[in-house]
Chain A
């Protein structure tokens, strides 16, 4: 049963389905253009806890519970959880998941974690290693600013190329059962480093990685961009989008018509003053759980290439003057029977 295709892709013989999804977001996301697609909107940024970090863990916890509830399963029926976030040593996931008592694989893919989790979860289900798995990713504006940029109390000014970290968590239950929406295949990204050193311009750092994985997906599957209804990147923002379109154009693919970016969709840039757009693990995760799966279920779209993008820096590597390498993962999400 050969499931490898091309250079770095998988085409599942029995595509695992997305049984249910849940999105839990903060106030700002709840005021944005996608507000009607989210399951739960919390006004309180710490969700009643003492810190941003504990608040983020609570987002993870609530997203998981909601996704499990919507799947109609009991939590004991979930065999593994694949989880990740942006905080050091994955504390948001750890403290958010410790009460669930589900075997855990902790992942770090920066903002591409939602894709990494879905890819590994899909492989686990397709390989017969689990009948149901849960994948979850989260980010929080307060905790991310504190770790990667400046604590909010400092009142730092943000340049126009900076993105706004999404406060939110998206969780997905993948299953071998028949589902409306399935993961047809995946293309796993490589680390792409163009030597960008600006932590306030992540879009430019991640766009080459997104371009590389989209190119490889089209090559491996021998398809044209027109195969997809949408090619949806995670959090390139406006600056990164321009670079992505140009890089793919230079390599013979025009994705102008299909391309969409979760970071651009999630906020109203004019009204909400978010500069280059949304970012963070939560950005692509909640947009997939909300908007994208909704459009697929209603069959407005039938084929989507979901490409969350991550910037693989740490505060140490950055402060020591290293570049910001990017990574992106391609997940082919399709409605059943197309």
Chain B
């Protein structure tokens, strides 16, 4: 059942993003930023946490999950370190995701060459 809910919730997030892509003039970058911000806001008002427990990877993998993570990192850091945590928490929490994206892209660039779209 976990898998099914992950699929459904993750799918709904993707469908909503696709609707933004197809029906508005928003460029992909803005759609992505919107997702991250939405995740952070939903986290702040306490809605993303239960969604994450319910849907697991379905809510963690899309960019909204990244936004939620940023917010969570900042919150925890502020709680423990005070004001300075505002500048530390987000980066700390996002470090694994961001660095792995960089490192894996670099490895991929050793093996693959960009190709023309068909």
Contact = CB atoms under 8 A, between A and B. Distances in A.
Interface string B101-118: 000000000000011111
B116 A153 contact: no
A159 B115 CA distance: 20
A142 B22 contact: no
B25 A198 contact: yes
Interface string B19-35: 00110010110000000
Contacts of B114: 142, 151-153
Contact of B21 (A141, A153, A157, A199): A157
Interface in A189-231: 197-200
A24 B41 CA distance: 53
Chain A interface SS verdict (over half): loop
A152 B21 contact: no
A152 B115 contact: yes
Nearest to B18: A157
Contacts of B28: 150, 156-157
A141 B25 contact: no
B89 to A, nearest CB: 29
A142 B21 contact: no
B114, B116, B117: most-surrounded residue (chain A CB, <10 A): B116
A27 interface: yes
Interface in A141-179: 141-142, 150-153, 156-157, 159, 167
B116 to A, nearest CB: 4
Interface in B8-60: 21-22, 25, 27-28
A198 B25 CA distance: 7
Nearest to A157: B21
A45 B116 contact: yes
B17 to A, nearest CB: 10
B29 to A, nearest CB: 8
A157 B118 CA distance: 13
Contact of B116 (A142, A198, A200): A142
Contacts, number: 28
B116 A141 contact: yes
A232 to B, nearest CB: 27
Contacts of B21: 157, 159
Contacts of A198: 25
A199 B29 CA distance: 14
Interface in B46-82: none
Contacts of A142: 114, 116
A199 B115 CA distance: 23
Contacts of A150: 28
Contacts of B27: 199-200
Nearest to A154: B28
B21, B114, B118: most-surrounded residue (chain A CB, <10 A): B114
A152 to B, nearest CB: 5
B116 A27 contact: yes
Nearest to B116: A45
Contacts of B116: 26-28, 45, 141-142, 152, 167
Contacts of A153: 114
A159 B22 contact: yes
Contacts of B22: 159
Contacts of A157: 21, 28
B23 to A, nearest CB: 10
A313 to B, nearest CB: 14
Given A141-B117, A167-B116, 5 more contacts: A27-B116, A28-B118, A151-B114, A152-B114, A197-B25
23 contacts: A26-B116, A27-B116, A28-B116, A28-B118, A45-B115, A45-B116, A141-B116, A141-B117, A150-B28, A152-B114, A152-B115, A152-B116, A152-B117, A156-B28, A157-B28, A159-B21, A159-B22, A167-B116, A197-B25, A198-B25, A199-B27, A200-B25, A200-B27
